[in-house]
Amino acid sequence: MGKRIGFVSTRFCGTDGVTLEAAKWAEVLTGAGHQCFWFAGELDREPQARFLVPEAHFHHPENRWIASRVFGCKRREPEVSERIHAMAARLKEQLHRFIAEFAIDLVIAQNVLTIPMHIPLGAALTETIAETLIPTIAHHHDFYWERTRFSVSAVGDYLRMAFPPSLPNIAHVTINSMAQEELALRTGLSSIVIPNVVDFENPPRFSAERKAEVRRSIDLAPEDIMILQPTRIVQRKGIEHAIELVRELGDPRCKLVISHEAGDEGYEYRDWLVEYARAGGVDLRLVRTSVSDPFNHRNCKQGNGDTLWEIYPHADFITYPSLYEGFGNAFLEAVYFRKPLLINRYATFVRDIEPMGFDLVAMDGFLTHRNVAQVRELLVNPERRGAMVEKNYAIAARHFSFAVLRKHLNYLLINFFGMDG
């Protein structure tokens, strides 16, 4: 019997990792006969399935006021505590309404009980789960102890209470084995690892006409070589290495295209990258069209700009030189679209992905002459390129497909509801 499942976070909108993975989970769950509903402070989901509460967004003025007074310091003023309590009480009332109005059977908390971007919402959701005993899956993407900005705080009591909480009706899910071990070490909580996934069972489709349109929108000539950096412009993405690669290739046809603009983390890094590219003679293109969530069918139907799925097929090579990733969506997406790629050996890749035997251009913190030669060979040798991408697709289909996610979610639902769930 299908369940009514409520996703809860600060936002489900755009192309951040949490939004993308939540949409994939919803796709798999809907395909299994369940119904999905959405609670957040920013939503671009179907109106009949969403419960919008602006106060739940981490950019809400009250939440920003609270965050500015509890991180980077160790003492909390009584007024701050009072305002946390007041905001949590308002949000808890809305969470109870959400569960009641949509008759929710299961809550999936998407990173909102993981990283303290919104302390009142984490506290409110924890209390709601404790009061209702509703079955809950807490999907953890990145913990507060992984981020320097949360290392000094005046809210250790809230962090221990709600980020994440220890309650008998919560099943915890991490996205890599290091996070699983660190969660157990710090809190004693057990979890299962569910990696990020892509629908490898259904290969992508695209048309030659659309390819011409997309390339024209980026102002690329037919002979240009599109080197795609498919990430947001944030410092941990290591985009300067992609600029170095294009500079070292020394081919004026090579254009570096970044698929997302800067956003939540400011514009200083973007401005530095633009100057760095200019100084190195690298033609850098920032995609200014809307790059929306390919799994959010409402976006696709309403024509809210190019999806990332419309950018990938037209790249000749992918750069992914991240310094740190919780998992690495862009890696899987490049493999899905059968594109060769350069990857930096970040810790999660080394531990959870590399042992599977992917064929990649791998750098280890810095770009070498050998890396550049490998990329140059891939750009001119279609046989070598074809063998690489087909091997990678086959490996990823075994380990990171929707079938893997389906198996894990079935396991969690059976644990909560039995075989009839």
Considering the domain architecture, whether residues 147 and 182 belong to the same structural domain is answered as: yes
Q: What's the pLDDT score for residue 306?
A: 55
Per the domain annotation, does 202 fall within a domain?
no
Joined together, the tokens standing for residue 385 give 């390129």
pLDDT of residue 259: 84
Residue among 367, 324, 364 at smallest CA distance from 345: 364
pLDDT at residue 304 in the model = 44
In a domain, 385, yes or no: yes
The amino acid at 201: E
Residue 221 is assigned to a structural domain of this protein: yes
Same domain, 214 and 289: yes
Question: Does residue 123 lie within any of the structural domains?
Answer: yes
Q: Supply the angle between the helices 17-31 and 402-417 in degrees, to the nearest 10.
A: 70
Q: Are residues 219 and 193 part of one domain?
A: no
Q: Look at the chain and report how many structural domains it folds into.
A: 2
257, 346: one domain: yes
pLDDT at 293: 53
Residue 207's pLDDT is what? Answer: 72
243 lies in the same domain as 382: yes
- Same domain for 160 and 218, yes or no, is no
Shared-domain flag, residues 191 and 297: no
The answer to the question of residue 203 being in a domain is: no
Domain shared by 223 and 166, yes or no: no
* Residue 111 and residue 26 share a domain: yes
- CB-based burial of residue 321 (10 Å sphere; 0-12 exposed, 13-18 middle, 19+ buried)? buried
Closest CA to 319 of 190, 209, 230: 230
Q: Is 219 left (phi over 0), alpha (psi -120 to 50) or beta?
A: left
Which residue range forms the structural domain that includes residue 394?
A: 208-399
Place of tokens 């644990």: 415
pLDDT string in tens for the chain (421-residue length): 899 999 999 999 877 889 989 999 999 999 999 999 999 999 999 999 999 999 999 999 999 999 999 999 999 999 999 999 999 999 999 999 999 999 999 999 999 999 999 999 999 999 999 999 999 999 999 999 998 899 999 999 999 999 999 999 999 999 999 999 999 999 999 999 999 999 999 998 877 677 778 888 888 998 999 999 998 888 889 999 999 999 999 999 999 999 876 655 568 999 999 999 999 999 999 886 455 555 555 544 444 445 667 788 889 999 999 998 888 888 999 999 999 999 999 999 999 999 999 999 999 999 999 999 999 999 999 999 999 999 999 999 999 999 999 999 999 999 999 976 5
Please indicate, yes or no, whether residues 176 and 214 belong to a single structural domain of this protein.
Answer: no
Residues 140, 187, single domain; the answer is yes
Output the domain CATH number for residue 238.
3.40.50.2000
* Residue 335: HSE in the Cβ half-sphere, 13 Å Cα cutoff: 27
How do residues 325-357 score in pLDDT, each as one tens digit?
888 888 999 999 999 999 999 999 999 999 999
Contacts 24+ apart (CB under 8 A), 308-311: 308/15, 308/230, 308/259, 308/333, 309/204, 310/206, 310/210, 310/214, 311/214, 311/228, 311/230, 311/257, 311/259, 311/287
Residues 216 and 98 occupy one common structural domain:
no
pTM of the predicted protein model = 0.88
pLDDT at res. 300: 41
